[in-house]
């Protein structure tokens, strides 16, 4: 089995955009080049990585698993090229990191494990709390840095933020939903069906803001703080929802399929990023943590937009 970094990069781009044509635009290559690279990768792995449909491509279960490894590969390559490993061994200390629910459940564990392998003498202490509490803890000096949804960040100009990933929000439906037959789907279309609303990490407040820009309202039949509950209810056909790619998985816990589609309306992304007190002087350990996440992001290893 063999594959090239180019094939992995083209695969990630297609998975992130959901369209081979859009991936080609972002990579500044031809659509046929992306298609060929993905076909070669599938042949080399002897796996079907994508399901093809009229609106684009979606990952198969095997593709979703490979996506995690592909991101690790690209991030590791960038790190190997830019940062001498010997420099990692000399950094010691502790970093107190604030995280919100979505970050701790769907973003940071993989990055935490990779950071610890690279910086074995740096201890990471993580504290999960709502965004408002984390912001106050940063200002009080109880935390060194935070990894939160900066798209929800308050207006306090004492805090500085830096984006890591922008995760697109898409419509989630069961595989037999009538909306999947449409070439284009809008907020107006979504408003006509039962809607499952997620409330954790201010998701319902974000939804309220982009729905408010339209003359429509979601037909909310249930509100929950559990992403897994939303996943199971959508897969079972109880309703549909709009959530980010970062928390998307193609299967519910019960093994039922969930489909996604982009909406024609402008839906804001869910942005994960770093936050800290403006003008703060980082310790070597905190600098290492900041630089590690920023580097992995810039390499494309963590982008799910």
Which CATH homologous superfamily contains domain 169-268?
Answer: Periplasmic binding protein-like II (3.40.190.10)
Q: What is the pLDDT of residue 297?
A: 67
* pLDDT (mean) for 34-39: 90
Residue 193 pLDDT level (bands cut at 50, 70, 90): very high
Q: What is the pLDDT of residue 303?
A: 36
* pLDDT (mean) for 97-114: 90
Q: What is the pLDDT of residue 25?
A: 72
Q: What is the pLDDT of residue 160?
A: 93
Please report, for the chain, the start and end positions of each structural domain, with discontinuous segments joined by +: 5-81, 93-167+271-298, 169-268
Residue 125 pLDDT level (bands cut at 50, 70, 90): very high
CATH topology of domain 93-167+271-298: D-Maltodextrin-Binding Protein; domain 2 (3.40.190)
pLDDT digits (tens, 9 = 90+) for 158-187: 999 999 888 889 999 999 999 999 989 999
Higher confidence at residue 147 or residue 295?
147
Domains 5-81 and 93-167+271-298 share a fold: no
Asked if the model's pLDDT at residue 7 lies above 70, the reply is yes
Q: What is the pLDDT of residue 158?
A: 92
Q: What is the 3-state secondary structure (H, E, C) of the chain?
A: CCCCHHHHHHHHHHHHHCCHHHHHHHHCCCHHHHHHHHHHHHHHHCCCCEEEECCEEEECHHHHHHHHHHHHHHHHHHHHHHCCHHHHHCCCEEEEEEECHHHHHHCHHHHHHHHHHHCCCEEEEEEECCHHHHHHHHHHCCCCEEEEEHHHCCCCCCEEEEEEEEECEEEEECCCCHHHHCCCCCHHHHCCCEEEEECHHHHHHHHHHHHHCCCCCCEEEEEECCHHHHHHHHHCCCCEEEEEHHHCCCECCCCCECEEECCCCCCCCEEEEEEEECCCCCCHHHHHHHHHHHHHHHCCCCCCC
* Domain 5-81 = CATH 1.10.10.10: yes
């Amino acid at each position: 089995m063999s594959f090239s970094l180019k094939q992995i990069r083209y695969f990630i781009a297609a998975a992130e955009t959901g369209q081979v044509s859009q991936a080609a635009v972002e990579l500044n290559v031809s659509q046929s080049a992306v298609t060929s690279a993905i076909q070669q990768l599938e042949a080399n792995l002897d796996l079907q990585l994508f399901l093809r449909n009229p609106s684009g491509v979606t990952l198969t279960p095997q593709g979703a698993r490979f996506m995690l490894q592909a991101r690790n590969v690209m991030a590791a390559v960038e790190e190997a090229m830019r940062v001498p490993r010997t420099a990692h061994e000399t950094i010691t200390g502790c970093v107190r990191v604030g995280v919100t629910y979505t970050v701790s459940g769907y973003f940071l564990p993989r990055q935490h494990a990779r950071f610890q392998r690279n910086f074995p003498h740096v201890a990471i202490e993580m504290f999960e709390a709502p965004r408002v509490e984390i912001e106050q803890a940063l200002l009080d000096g109880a935390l060194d840095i935070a990894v939160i949804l900066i798209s929800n960040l308050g207006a306090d100009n004492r805090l500085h933020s830096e984006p890591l990933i922008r995760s697109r929000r898409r419509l989630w439906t069961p595989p037999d939903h009538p909306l999947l037959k449409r070439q284009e789907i809008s907020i107006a279309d979504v408003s006509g069906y039962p809607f499952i609303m997620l409330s954790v990490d201010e998701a319902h407040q974000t939804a309220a803001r982009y729905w408010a820009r339209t003359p429509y309202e979601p037909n909310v039949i249930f509100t929950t703080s559990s992403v897994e509950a939303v996943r199971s209810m959508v897969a079972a056909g109880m309703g549909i929802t709009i959530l980010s790619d970062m928390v998307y998985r193609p299967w519910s816990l019960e093994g039922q399929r969930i489909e996604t589609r982009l909406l024609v309306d402008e839906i804001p992304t869910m942005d994960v990023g770093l936050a800290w007190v403006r003008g703060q002087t980082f310790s070597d350990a905190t600098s290492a943590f900041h630089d590690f996440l920023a580097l992995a992001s810039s390499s494309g290893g963590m982008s799910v937009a």
